[in-house]
Amino acid sequence: MPDIFDKCDEFWNRIKKVTGDHFDPDVFFRQFPVTNCLPNVEIEGTEYLQIATNDYLGLATHPEVVKAGTDICSVSGVGTPLGARPLTGNTAMHLKLEADLAKFRGTEASLVFNLGLGAMSGTVACMVGRKERVFVDAYAHGCLHDGARLCKGEASWFGHNDMDDLESQLAACPLEQPKLIAVDGVYGMTGDLAPLPHLVELKNKYNAQLFVDDAHGTGVLGDNGRGTPEHFGVEDEVDLHGGTFAKSFGTFGGYICGNKRALDFIKFVSPGFMLTKALPGCMTNATIKSLELMQSMPERRHQLWENITILREGLRNAGFNIGDPKGAVTSIFTRGAMALTAVRMLMEDYKIVVNPVMYPAVPYGTSIIRMTASALHTPEDMQRLVDAIVDVSTRIPLLEGNEAAASKVATVMPGAGITSAGSNGSAH
């Protein structure tokens, strides 16, 4: 007789079928030390070069950020405040961080959540009500897809960065129907950007609002590090700015910035804000400091981009198709689960740590080697990684599978890849 756990076996059978001998769960769920934000980490007595962190600016270990967090822990404990924001969790620190974020973004207000996922999914879910509609990019982070599925209105998906597809869907709706367009600023697997100027044109033409989850863009793009909207010069045209503190801020949590009218509504109706404890004070205070440093230390962003440029030029010169990434994420797509084999070889033979990503975070039948440099790396670190990948490609058909997989990713449409089975599992 079937039971609810049968799907577990079916899932793993499917994974093994597409990955074959390359699938190695020990690679996919490796154990790391808690110091994994540093460029060099020690694992079981061996030192590794680690180019797999989301701590883009190296602020997670900055002494001032660490002190800001530990100062609160020493007085108030680790997890406090232990109440939800509407109860006992609304402290002066939370209000200061929200005021600082709103000033940074140039918006009327902001809301701080204890989780980026809750900020994004909760905002979409509560903002799109009955007889309203949301349009989500097929490659957007899974939290935006979850919010679209949870909302009480209509939800639909458009091909990744396919403005013709989006416009045809917008044009099919009554002009007076309230609409929300939800996209990532920087896509976390491919590293490419949402075409925000074109999206602004469409949202104005069809009476929609625009929500940008700029988790990977904030701190990285723009003359002042304000992310993808600043990069494109459309900050005032983005209606809701979302993000996480778990990337360039080097801390934890999430936020939404926008007009006070919308944020006051979200504050009262979003389960991701109302029904969970407040962001711990140690994280809140640390994030206040990291936001301050993000703005006062542009040299960190400049160093990050020097590293990224060396890495990408080296890979392209070696013949790899890495697409057109504009954020800090650099990916090599390949067939099946070959990326897992390559990542294992890089770790075992070259003492370099990068990340493997496979379905359902990327299209079925592909996997990627995902590399994320930080401001704490050096140009020499980047060249060491390039040389190691080139050497790996002489031992397994990495380069041969790269072009075919990159083409598949570029052409996959909703329902035929990361959105298959009605789910987008992409990870921030």
Q: Which residues make Cβ contacts (< 8 Å) with residue 292, sequence separation at least 6?
A: 100
Nearest to 266 by CA among 69, 407, 126: 126
**What's the rounded mean pLDDT across residues 48-58?**
94
Architecture of domain 21-60+298-422: Alpha-Beta Complex (3.90)
Residue ranges of E strands in 72-214: 109-113, 133-137, 154-158, 179-184, 208-213
> Does 30 score more than 80 pLDDT?
no
- The residues of the chain that CATH labels 3.40.640.10 are 63-296
> Does 172 score more than 60 pLDDT?
yes
* pLDDT of the residue at 225: 96
- The residues of the chain that CATH labels 3.90.1150.10 are 21-60+298-422
> Does 103 score more than 70 pLDDT?
yes
- Written as one string, the DSSP assignment of 192-242 is -B--HHHHHHHHHHTTEEEEEE-TTTTTTSSTTS--HHHHHT-GGG-SEEE
The CATH number, out of the four listed (3.40.50.300, 3.40.309.10, 3.30.565.10, 3.40.640.10), of the domain defined by the range 63-296: 3.40.640.10
Do 219 and 261 meet the contact criterion of CB atoms below 8 Å apart? no
In this prediction, residue 25 has a pLDDT band, given cuts at 50, 70 and 90, of low
* pLDDT of the residue at 288: 98
> Does 414 score more than 70 pLDDT?
no
> Does 417 score more than 60 pLDDT?
no
